[in-house]
A and B are shown apart, each in its own frame.
Chain A
Amino acid sequence: MDVITRHLGEFGDGLLITVELTLLSLAGALVAGVIVAAMRVSPVAALRAAGTAYVETLQNIPLLVWLVLAVFGLPEIGVMAGLFTTAVIVISLYQGAYMAEAVRSGINAVPVGQGEAARALGLTFTQSLRMVILPQALRTVVQPLGNIAIMTIMNTALAAAVGVVELTAAANRVNLAEAQPIWIFVTAGLLYMALSACAGLTTGALERKLAILR
């Protein structure tokens, strides 16, 4: 157990970076997801095609490949960003594809009459989406979005592979010094479980609070 207490600082720093990566990526993913979902239901064929292409491209290449590509590729095209920032952007865009699919299923679950009533009142397509459809759609997909949030927490571990010292990388560093992999990685694992438990509790609370009476 001393291995852990002796390296509390490292674990704490790693955990903090993991939490920051997660929260920033989730915020980014939600924005990307809503925009892409809106594109996929838009009346403009070109936007729909672009939305579909986005989801297909992002989902069909592993996140690790995207991370490595971004870390080495972005400087090539003149974009200089820190490792942490690069990781946040890549994870946001990647998880955004999954968010988009979840949000789109929520949009499809809103009765068509809601959008028709909105447009019949003179709201434009964008206004009806923003003020009538999306608020209802998002409420119905709190649970799937919560699952994506947990998936995002787990996926931040891949940032370790491109040099971001988050929880997994921190554990690895401690292990290099102490050579006690079981204790060290069980601890890291428990911390990840605690984070996803928080996500689960938040999801449950949100779902109860936002449920729409029908």
Chain B
Amino acid sequence: MIEVRGLNKRFGDSRPTSVHALRDVDLDVAKGEVVVVIGPSGSGKSTLCRCLNRLENPTSGEIRIDGRPLPAEGRELARLRADVGMVFQSFNLFQHKTVLDNLTLAPMKVRGVGRAEAERTAHELLDRVGIGEQAAKLPAQLSGGQQQRAAIARALAMRPKAMLFDEPTSALDPEMVGEVLDVMTSLARDGMTMVVVTHEMGFARKVADRVVFMADGEVVETGTPEAFFDSPATDRARDFLAKVLSH
């Protein structure tokens, strides 16, 4: 479903302060697979996620979605992005639109779905993520957890082939993390292809088919959650796990 080969990303290429955020990253995500990406801050997890739908332009390397290379820009790219849902740390719901309109905008404008059908789908999805009653509210009237669930529903409204999550629970109060992870877990159970950047080790252990550990822009280690958490192969992964699991 997603194939990444030799992906490099440098920020500020011409400047002496340039950052090599991704170094020769290879990654394969099969259809229906849930890949959890973990690693220390600044290791390039967000950059990888953003390169996958070209919110960030890779410096070099190849990305294929469903066998097709990711187009550089324009309508082709827009069409491909429509097939890959993205959920952000800061929700990014459209502030001036109701929750319902957040869900119907892209299906109507990008997919050409009629309003009635778009609204029917939107209500179904909002019910599915447990916020059916909030449809008519503005994003700012919702709690963080509700906003993030609405954002997930908005991405699902496009009927994507895969979903990218960039630390979807990092901006949430602790008591709301569970409700968002529950939605993501049920999505994974339903067979959605997912790439999830997260610091939630419990979720990684329980839901991931594969864990990818990144450090300094490289994929250092990859394996099943059991193998990774119980017997990490590299020192860097051991150090990292010691730090995050110590509290």
Residues of chain A at the chain B interface (Cβ within 8 Å): 43, 111, 113-114, 116-124, 127, 131-132, 135-136, 139, 212-214
Q: With contacts defined as CB atoms under 8 Å apart, how many contacts are there between chain A and chain B in the complex? A: 76
Q: Beyond A121-B82, A132-B94, A212-B95: 7 further Cβ-contacts under 8 Å?
A: A119-B78, A120-B86, A121-B81, A123-B109, A127-B110, A136-B95, A213-B138
Contact A120:B95 (CB < 8 A) given known A213-B140, A213-B141: no
B92's contact among A113, A122, A127, by CB below 8 Å, is which? A113
Nearest CB in chain A to that of B80: its residue: A122
B155's contact among A121, A139, A212, A214, by CB below 8 Å, is which? A121
Residues in B neighbouring A121, C-beta threshold 8 A: 81-82, 85, 105-106, 110, 154-155, 158
Cβ–Cβ contact B75 & A124, under 8 A? yes
Nearest CB in chain B to that of A124: its residue: B78
Q: Any chain A CB within 8 A of the CB of B96?
A: yes
Contact A119:B106 (CB < 8 A) given known A124-B78, A136-B95: no
Q: Any chain A CB within 8 A of the CB of B79?
A: yes
Cβ–Cβ contact B158 & A212, under 8 A? no
Q: Any chain A CB within 8 A of the CB of B224?
A: no
- Distance A172 CA – B53 CA, assembled complex (angstroms): 64
Q: A41 → chain B, closest Cβ, in Å? A: 16
B94's contact among A114, A127, A139, by CB below 8 Å, is which? A114
Residues in A neighbouring B83, C-beta threshold 8 A: 122
Cβ–Cβ contact B110 & A123, under 8 A? yes
4 residue pairs, one from A and one from B, having the closest CB atoms: A122-B82, A117-B92, A121-B106, A113-B92
Residues of chain B at the chain A interface (Cβ within 8 Å): 53, 55, 73-75, 78-86, 88, 90, 92-96, 105-106, 109-110, 138, 140-141, 151, 154-155, 158
Q: A87 → chain B, closest Cβ, in Å? A: 35
- Distance A50 CA – B70 CA, assembled complex (angstroms): 30
Q: B140 → chain A, closest Cβ, in Å? A: 4
Q: What are 15 A-B pairs at a CB distance below 8 A?
A: A111-B90, A113-B88, A116-B92, A117-B93, A119-B78, A120-B53, A121-B82, A121-B158, A122-B83, A127-B110, A132-B94, A136-B95, A212-B96, A213-B95, A214-B140
- Distance A121 CA – B81 CA, assembled complex (angstroms): 6
Q: B89 → chain A, closest Cβ, in Å? A: 9
Cβ–Cβ contact B140 & A119, under 8 A? no
Nearest CB in chain B to that of A127: its residue: B109
Q: B23 → chain A, closest Cβ, in Å? A: 24
- Distance A111 CA – B85 CA, assembled complex (angstroms): 20
Nearest CB in chain B to that of A139: its residue: B96
Residues in B neighbouring A139, C-beta threshold 8 A: 96
- Distance A136 CA – B140 CA, assembled complex (angstroms): 14
- Distance A106 CA – B158 CA, assembled complex (angstroms): 29
Q: A111 → chain B, closest Cβ, in Å? A: 8
Contact A123:B95 (CB < 8 A) given known A113-B90, A117-B88, A213-B138: no
Nearest CB in chain B to that of A210: its residue: B96
